[in-house]
Amino acid sequence: MKITYAVASAALMSVAFVSSVQAADTLKVWMRYGENEKAVLDAITQEFSKETGVTIDLFLANTDFETRLARAAAGDSLPDMIINDATSMGQLLDMGIVKEIDRASLKGGDQLYDVAWQSVEAVDGKYYGVPTSAQAFAVFIRKDWREKLGYPVPKTWEDLFNLSKAFTEDDPDGDGKADTYGYVMPLSATRGYATWFLADLIWQAGGKFLEQKGAAYVSSLDTPETAKAISFARDLVCKGFAQPSAITATTGDTTPVFSSGQAGIYRTGPYHLAPLSKEPGRAVIEVVPPPAGPAGQAELAEGEAAFIMASTRHEDLAKKFIEFLVSEKGQEMGMGVGTGSSPIVRLSINKNVDVTKIQPDADWGTFAKLYATSARYFPRVPNWKPIRQMTSDGFNKILSDCSSDIRAGLGEIDAAVNEELANQGVLAR
């Protein structure tokens, strides 16, 4: 069976369609991945074709995916299905290009975690996608630095703050220079990174982004709880215990700060276990749950999902491919162990797949436990993307001014978010 590929690079400005004519046993699939995941996708699509006789016509793009999709929708040339971030569901619904999924009719759907299904549940209680992968976030720490300075594993915000201070002021690398920092923080407003990073702290403080009232919402950031979270983050920045570039940093900027030994604490996902095991080295890092805030433990959950396009004439084939992807076999193959490829499945959304028996690093289990017990997805409004951006803009503004009125800033964010909720037709009256 033939598997055709088209891979879009960052420099490619137009969508490369493999063919304008689609055979009855061919499924056109677009995925928001690139060359790093190709070996895993080769194995998965080849196995699926071997089992079913269906040819996968696969297009990969890890940049400008949404732009390409919008262009294809306008040109009536959408694929049969896509795999993208689960948070893209609202945008797909706004575009009117995605089919509803009957959760009960999906083979193996009852074996998927309920929390994973929540990522593709709309305000109307219906599902418009199928989760294919998940991840939670934990904290990487320079264990050698911590032990050298005599600090315990941080379990509370106070512990985290004190360790960040020590890593900044007490020369943990022993070079006699003031050239290290505590917490690596991506607080740029770009693509909503500030909101992405601060979500854990807001929930740990007992705060909420939105208050749900039936099928409607109201922004609820202007509270003492959220103010406490923002104050904690701002103290780390303004006292110099975060890296100097924190306010303008994205995740692309932060990983090198930790891996090169410039800082000792980094909150990130399981996808960094392998690269950080090489540099700064597995022997000098430890992975721990995010320290608990005043309201306890909580961390962000994210993931990818499969969406069937409303225009497809091959819904049955798309459903069959999705069922393969979420099966035990598909999930294990998606982890890519031994392929040299980046995984398309980080944490399995299938309850029957034990990541600790597949991944060689035991700390994958740390992430899996956090996902299953205390991870949270962002609110499931019709379109979260603009809200993530405007909250990120607001947070970044507050954090950039060490003397600004935090509650006043949060009130401004609430007003902007409520206006957006009204535009989306889900503002509680």
Q: What is the pLDDT of residue 17?
A: 35
Q: What is the pLDDT of residue 5?
A: 53
Mean pLDDT of all residues in 63-69: 90
Q: What is the pLDDT of residue 22?
A: 73
Tens digit of each residue's pLDDT (9 = 90 or more) over 353-379:
999 999 989 999 999 999 989 999 999
Mean pLDDT of all residues in 58-66: 89
CA distances from 187 to 10, 194, 243, 391 (A): 24, 4, 11, 12
Tens digit of each residue's pLDDT (9 = 90 or more) over 327-342:
999 999 999 998 878 8
- List the single range of 59-63, 224-228, 292-296, 315-319 with lowest mean pLDDT: 59-63
Q: What is the pLDDT of residue 260?
A: 97
Mean pLDDT of all residues in 107-120: 95
Radius of gyration of the chain measured on its C-alpha atoms: 22
CA distances from 73 to 137, 304, 309, 425 (A): 34, 21, 10, 24
Please, what is the Cα angle at 61 between 134 and 57, to 5 degrees? 95
Give percent of the chain with pLDDT exceeding 70.
95
Domain 4-135+302-376 has CATH 3.30.70.260: no
224-238 and 385-399 helices, crossing angle to 10°: 60
Q: What is the pLDDT of residue 11?
A: 34
Tens digit of each residue's pLDDT (9 = 90 or more) over 311-320:
999 999 999 9
CA dihedral 146, 147, 151, 157 (to 10 degrees): 40
The two three-digit tokens of residue 249, written as one number: 């940093």
Q: What is the pLDDT of residue 58?
A: 96
6 band by pLDDT with thresholds 50, 70 and 90: low
Tens digit of each residue's pLDDT (9 = 90 or more) over 205-241:
999 999 999 889 999 999 999 999 999 999 999 999 9
CATH class entry, domain 138-300+380-423: alpha beta
Q: Is the pLDDT of residue 13 over 60?
A: no
Say which residue, 138 or 64, is predicted with more confidence: 138
Q: Is the pLDDT of residue 43 over 80?
A: yes
Tens digit of each residue's pLDDT (9 = 90 or more) over 249-262:
999 999 999 999 99
Q: What is the pLDDT of residue 19?
A: 40
Tens digit of each residue's pLDDT (9 = 90 or more) over 97-108:
999 999 999 999
Listed in sequence order, the residues at least 6 apart from 224 whose beta carbon sits closer than 8 Å to its beta carbon are: none
Contact 89, 129 (CB under 8 A): yes
Task: Answer whether 4-135+302-376 and 138-300+380-423 agree in fold.
Answer: yes
How many CB atoms are closer than 10 A to CB 135? 22
Q: What is the pLDDT of residue 21?
A: 55
**Beta strand extents in 282-411 (DSSP E only):** 285-288, 299-308, 375-376
Q: What is the pLDDT of residue 1?
A: 39
How many CB atoms are closer than 10 A to CB 403? 6
Domain definitions of the chain by residue range: 4-135+302-376, 138-300+380-423
